[in-house]
Amino acid sequence: MFSIVSQDAPVTRWFGHRARLSLPPAGVLKADGQAHAARTLWNLLHAWWQMMPREKRSLANADAAIRQARQDIGFLEVLPAQAAQAVLKTYVRAWQNCWGGRAGAPGFKGRFRTVMAVDIPQGRDLNITRVHRRWGMVNIPKVGRVRFRWTKDLPVGRHASSESRITGARLIKDALGWHIAFRVQAVEGRPEPHPGPEVGIDLGVTVPLALSDGGTYEHGAWLTKKEKARLLRLEQRAAQRKRHRRPGERTSRRLHRTYDQIAGLRAKAKRRALHWQHQTTTAIARTYGTVVVEALTLTSMVRSARGTVEEPGKNVAQKSGLNRSISREAWGRTVAMLAYKTARHGGTLVKVPAPGTSRRCSACGLTTPGSRESQAVFVCKNPDCGWSGNADYNAARNVLHLYRMGHALVPAAGRAVVRRAQRVKPAAARQAGISQHQAGEHSKSSSGSATPTQASSARSPACWLSGAPTRTPAPPARTPRTASSRC
Ligand SMILES: [Zn+2]
């Protein structure tokens, strides 16, 4: 047998690359000013959008309003015209995400809670050159020529072509200062199919990644003991300052400084976690041809156990601690990294249904109550089997077994193919529910409630009217997943 994959057909890959900018203090001030102007413009645009009657909310009108604002409001002129256009584009995209059920409605952006960012939508403005082994230079509109850290070969200068080039960039400020994120489009040869073995991976809290061949990937705490103690001290200090603030009083400079110090420590922890995730996922993608993971619904896994006022939940603090541990592991990011890295190495990432993988015995295939003795130990209670071993290893073997039995869910062969579960749009769900009702039983109540909902739904989204996020006004019944298909 010979493979039918065409080896030489090149593939276009789009990715981001983030580099640290070396801005002089004056440049930092200019970039800060641009970011504040961009945020102000967003807020003005949002206010304009909410105020306008629906038929007047068009791109052309919004564009005219932005031009007028740039003429009328002096400090907006520090923002380049292209960046102002990008704000409008991002704003419209935010509404589209809301209408698609992927995000809530956009709102106003606060001065201190928003990530400072400025867009440079056109790649040709950047004029990137490499000036040193470790440094490149980039043009930033209305700031000037700035050095940035060169850590990756970018398609610039004679390496650029109409297919391989930098299509734009975005300036982002984080705890370490200003960074530039390039949008890169590159044409690469299609990778050879990876000949490596198959592996199942169990994502866990005590052992972050357990492999079905017995290997594990582990990491220590992201912060040292000293750093953790400092973080706790800063958080206590911030809480105390906040408590002593009178109502209506502005946040003091001291409190802002404490907030910045907390953000700095958290950013450090996140950088360490990202570093570990990148190293681990690269090693896995290099070694294995087929990687199998569980399809976890993380949002439901980290749901609070608080319950309601009438029926308070049990072990609330314990569950919230577990939720924090789950969130800290950032499994979603690990899986996303695995998806694109396996694809780049010619391998595949496969997801299998998660239920039962940690409770079933991987030797006999039976789920016997009490087999999972503790977080770490699995002893099969089936009298004919009696297999015992590490619980995470057992789960990883189950994951691989499910794939071998043909239970793969989504062939996640790259980032573009990873489908995100579309939440059921309230209007669509109600219509689907109503039509099901009417087709099946002729109930009076459903037809009675049908008229107002149908009138309000149509194709226009519920969150279009008024800025208030109309978040799922209690759909009549939990519609099954199949109802989310196009109607
Ligand atoms: Zn067994």
Write the DSSP symbol of residue 307.
Answer: B
Domain CATH number, residue 401: 3.30.420
From 354, 378, 412, give the residue that closes a domain: 412
- Residues 116 and 22 reside in one and the same domain: yes
Q: pLDDT at position 44, please?
A: 95
Is residue 248 a part of any domain in this protein? Answer: no
- Cα separations in angstroms, 324 against 105, 210, 231, 238: 26, 20, 16, 21
Question: What's the 201 CA to ligand 1 centre distance in angstroms?
Answer: 20
Tell me the torsion sign for CA atoms 196, 199, 201, 207: negative
Looking at the structure of the chain, the number of domains it has is 3
The pair phi, psi for residue 149, each rounded to 5°, is -70, 125
Calculate helix-pair angle for 331-344, 316-329, nearest 10 degrees. 20
- Residues 11 and 112 reside in one and the same domain: yes
Is residue 26 a part of any domain in this protein? Answer: yes
Question: What's the 209 CA to ligand 1 centre distance in angstroms?
Answer: 23
Nearest one of 10, 90, 105, 174 to 465, comparing CA atoms: 105
Query: Does residue 91 contact residue 106 with C-beta atoms inside 8 Å?
Result: yes
Question: What's the 213 CA to ligand 1 centre distance in angstroms?
Answer: 18
- Residues 70 and 106 reside in one and the same domain: yes
- Residues 326 and 470 reside in one and the same domain: no
- Residues 20 and 124 reside in one and the same domain: yes
- Cα separations in angstroms, 294 against 53, 203, 465: 47, 8, 39
Q: Residue 142's CB: how many other CB atoms inside 10 A?
A: 14
Question: What's the 230 CA to ligand 1 centre distance in angstroms?
Answer: 47
Q: In what order do the strands lie in the sheet with 209-211?
A: 216-217, 209-211, 198-203, 290-295, 348-353, 411-412
Is residue 174 a part of any domain in this protein? Answer: yes
Question: What's the 374 CA to ligand 1 centre distance in angstroms?
Answer: 16
Q: Domain span at residue 447?
A: 426-484
Task: Output the six-digit token pair for 364.
Answer: 């006999």
Task: Output the six-digit token pair for 267.
Answer: 């950013």
Low-confidence stretches of the chain (pLDDT beneath 50): 1-5, 412-422, 424-487
- Residues 40 and 186 reside in one and the same domain: yes
CA dist., res. 67 & res. 61, Å (int)? 10
CA dist., res. 344 & res. 190, Å (int)? 8
CA dist., res. 184 & res. 172, Å (int)? 16
Question: What's the 369 CA to ligand 1 centre distance in angstroms?
Answer: 11
Count H helices, E strands: the chain?
Answer: 11, 15
- Residues 182 and 117 reside in one and the same domain: yes
- Residues 404 and 463 reside in one and the same domain: no
Question: What's the 298 CA to ligand 1 centre distance in angstroms?
Answer: 28
Which residues neighbour ligand 1 (ion) by CB within 5 Å? 361, 363-364, 380, 382, 385, 387
Write the DSSP symbol of residue 197.
Answer: P
Mapping DSSP to helix (H, G, I), strand (E, B) and coil, where does residue 293 land?
strand
CA dist., res. 375 & res. 57, Å (int)? 55
Task: Output the six-digit token pair for 461.
Answer: 């989204």
Is residue 264 a part of any domain in this protein? Answer: no
Q: pLDDT at position 410, please?
A: 56
Q: Residue 217's CB: how many other CB atoms inside 10 A?
A: 18
The pair phi, psi for residue 403, each rounded to 5°, is -65, -45
Nearest one of 302, 300, 394, 291 to 352, comparing CA atoms: 291
Question: What's the 362 CA to ligand 1 centre distance in angstroms?
Answer: 7
Q: What is the pLDDT of residues 223-273, one digit of tens each?
A: 999 999 999 999 999 999 999 888 888 888 999 899 989 999 999 999 999
Is residue 421 a part of any domain in this protein? Answer: no
- Residues 154 and 208 reside in one and the same domain: no
- Residues 329 and 442 reside in one and the same domain: no
- Residues 387 and 433 reside in one and the same domain: no
CA dist., res. 180 & res. 151, Å (int)? 12
Is residue 259 a part of any domain in this protein? Answer: no
Question: What's the 348 CA to ligand 1 centre distance in angstroms?
Answer: 30
Q: Which amino acid is at 77?
A: E
- Cα separations in angstroms, 369 against 223, 361, 372, 394: 38, 11, 8, 15
Q: pLDDT at position 427, please?
A: 47
CA dist., res. 83 & res. 42, Å (int)? 11
From 378, 412, 446, give the residue that closes a domain: 412
Q: pLDDT at position 459, please?
A: 37
Question: What's the 358 CA to ligand 1 centre distance in angstroms?
Answer: 12
Query: Does residue 318 contact residue 429 with C-beta atoms inside 8 Å?
Result: no
Q: Residue 85's CB: how many other CB atoms inside 10 A?
A: 16
Query: Does residue 11 contact residue 187 with C-beta atoms inside 8 Å?
Result: yes
Is residue 254 a part of any domain in this protein? Answer: no
Question: What's the 373 CA to ligand 1 centre distance in angstroms?
Answer: 13
Question: What's the 384 CA to ligand 1 centre distance in angstroms?
Answer: 7
Which is it for strands 198-203 and 290-295: parallel, antiparallel or unpaired?
parallel
From 146, 172, 190, give the residue that closes a domain: 190
- Residues 85 and 168 reside in one and the same domain: yes
Question: What's the 161 CA to ligand 1 centre distance in angstroms?
Answer: 59
Q: What percent of the chain has pLDDT over 90?
A: 43
